[in-house]
């Protein structure tokens, strides 16, 4: 188990922030074997598709380039122009073959680790570089190099034996067909020699990912410190939470004047309900609270002359089974409907006043009753 500088074991998985910081520093999982494999496969495909034609065009271009007229030979000023045209022709001829290699070399790292540009000159330290030569990673790289050499050499021996008759037969063919045949054989040779690299990449990619995550492991103290940095100190978080609660209570209290009734327990609970028969399917809870908050709800209700009903069982049932800005539970529809109907009757008869209205006989389902 890896240890930190202070002796603590790195037992915790790296956090997303730790991974992001490592990527910004250029520390990402990389597999050179995967890039090498992809480049070999692209080279093999290019040779198989374009090899015979490319070899024929190269031979024709070579013949044309070495054929000079008398003016070019006797005029030294013509030589740079001829050589420049010779170079341009060869670049244009080889471009379809070389461009895929360049593209693969740039894009292949995206398969593992993505694009990372991070270079710091101060990170170059001769002594540290010398120490890395004898590190565990260097030993692993040496082992992979020897394994690759053994696999590729073994495959090359079998390949030469299998292709020996065709290679010897090339000398009996005419020049252009022999060159085209050689290009085709070279493409298959690249493809077959890529097979050992497929095995090496299949082993190296999971190892690089595992090794990268192992190096990024953190101690428990580092995780705690990072959580403090990301989420803030406990006292700051507590203050933010308290401010959020105060803001939520202030918003809730602002909606108390919109309520149609406040159902309360005279000492502890208060729930303010709003109900518009034409637009609402059920009464909505606009405010609820206990103790000091309940007292404030009752005071605001009295200031705005909102009817208050004293129904202890119903008040507790609403408080424990309702949510702010949500309809009341369906099992309490009948009880609340009885309260609203009674208030409407009192208002119609002109008997509604500012005094709390006791309604202790409101039916509350037994499963919703609380003490």
Q: pLDDT per residue over 347-369, tens digit each?
A: 888 877 878 888 888 888 877 77
**pLDDT mean across residues, the chain:** 77
CATH 3.40.1690.10 spans which residues of the chain?
255-368
**Mind listing the pLDDT tens digit for each residue in 34-85?**
888 888 888 778 777 776 677 777 777 777 666 666 666 666 676 677 677 7
**371 band by pLDDT with thresholds 50, 70 and 90:** low
Alpha carbon distance 312, 264 (integer Å): 6
CA distance 141 to 148: 10
Listed in sequence order, the residues at least 6 apart from 52 whose beta carbon sits closer than 8 Å to its beta carbon are: 180, 181, 183, 184
Number of H helices, E strands in the chain: 12, 5
Lowest mean pLDDT among 13-22, 230-239, 305-314: 230-239
What's residue 208's pLDDT?
A: 81
Q: Is the pLDDT of residue 128 over 60?
A: no
Q: What is the pLDDT, as a whole number, of residue 235?
A: 66
The CATH homologous superfamily to which domain 255-368 belongs is: secretion proteins EscU (3.40.1690.10)
Q: Which two tokens stand for residue 96?
A: 């379809």
CA distances from 85 to 19, 61, 91, 150, 308 (A): 51, 11, 10, 44, 99
Mean pLDDT computed over 151-171:
82
pLDDT for 7 equals: 55
User: What pLDDT is stored for residue 79 in this prediction?
Assistant: 67
Q: What is the pLDDT of residue 224?
A: 75
| d(C-alpha 71, C-alpha 85), whole Å | 16
Choose the weakest-confidence range: 10-24, 63-77, 124-138.
124-138
- Angle (CA) 288-289-290 rounded to 5° is 150
Q: How many CB atoms lie within 10 A of CB 32?
A: 14
Output the pTM of the full model: 0.44
Q: Quickly count: other Cβ atoms within 10 Å of residue 155's Cβ.
A: 17
Query: 127-141, 150-164, 257-271: which range is least confident on average?
Result: 127-141
What are the pLDDT digits (tens) for 140-155? 777 777 877 888 888 8
């Amino acid at each position: 188990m890896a240890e930190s500088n202070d002796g603590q074991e790195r037992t915790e998985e790296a956090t997303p922030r730790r991974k992001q910081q490592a990527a910004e520093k250029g520390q990402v999982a990389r597999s050179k074997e995967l890039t090498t494999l992809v480049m070999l496969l692209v080279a093999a495909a290019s040779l198989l598709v374009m090899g015979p034609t490319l070899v024929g065009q190269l031979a024709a271009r070579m013949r044309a380039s070495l054929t000079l007229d008398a003016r070019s030979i006797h005029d030294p000023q013509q030589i740079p122009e001829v050589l420049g045209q010779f170079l341009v022709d060869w670049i244009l001829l080889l471009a379809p073959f070389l461009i895929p290699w360049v593209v693969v070399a740039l894009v292949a790292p995206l398969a593992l680790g993505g694009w990372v540009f991070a270079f710091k000159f101060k990170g170059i330290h001769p002594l540290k570089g010398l120490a890395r030569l004898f590190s565990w990673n260097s030993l692993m790289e040496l082992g992979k190099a020897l394994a690759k050499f053994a696999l590729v050499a073994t495959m090359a021996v079998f390949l030469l034996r299998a292709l020996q008759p065709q290679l010897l037969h090339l000398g009996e063919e005419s020049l252009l067909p022999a060159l085209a045949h050689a290009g085709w054989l070279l493409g298959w040779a690249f493809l077959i020699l890529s097979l050992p690299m497929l095995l090496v990449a299949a082993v190296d990619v999971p190892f690089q990912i595992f090794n990268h995550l192992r190096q990024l492991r953190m101690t428990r103290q580092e995780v705690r410190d990072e959580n403090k940095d990301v989420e803030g100190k406990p006292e700051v978080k507590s203050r933010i939470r308290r401010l959020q609660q105060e803001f939520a209570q202030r918003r809730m209290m602002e909606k108390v004047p919109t309520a149609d009734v406040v159902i309360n327990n005279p000492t502890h609970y208060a729930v303010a309900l709003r109900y518009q028969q034409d637009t609402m399917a059920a009464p909505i809870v606009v405010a609820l609270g206990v103790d000091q908050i309940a007292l404030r709800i009752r005071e605001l209700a009295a200031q705005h002359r909102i009817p208050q009903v004293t129904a202890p069982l119903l008040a507790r049932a609403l408080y424990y089974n309702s949510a702010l800005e949500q309809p009341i539970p369906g099992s309490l529809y009948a009880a609340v409907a009885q309260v609203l109907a009674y208030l409407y009757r009192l208002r119609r008869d002109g008997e509604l006043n500012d005094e709390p209205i006791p309604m202790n006989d409101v039916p509350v389902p037994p499963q919703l009753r609380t003490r």
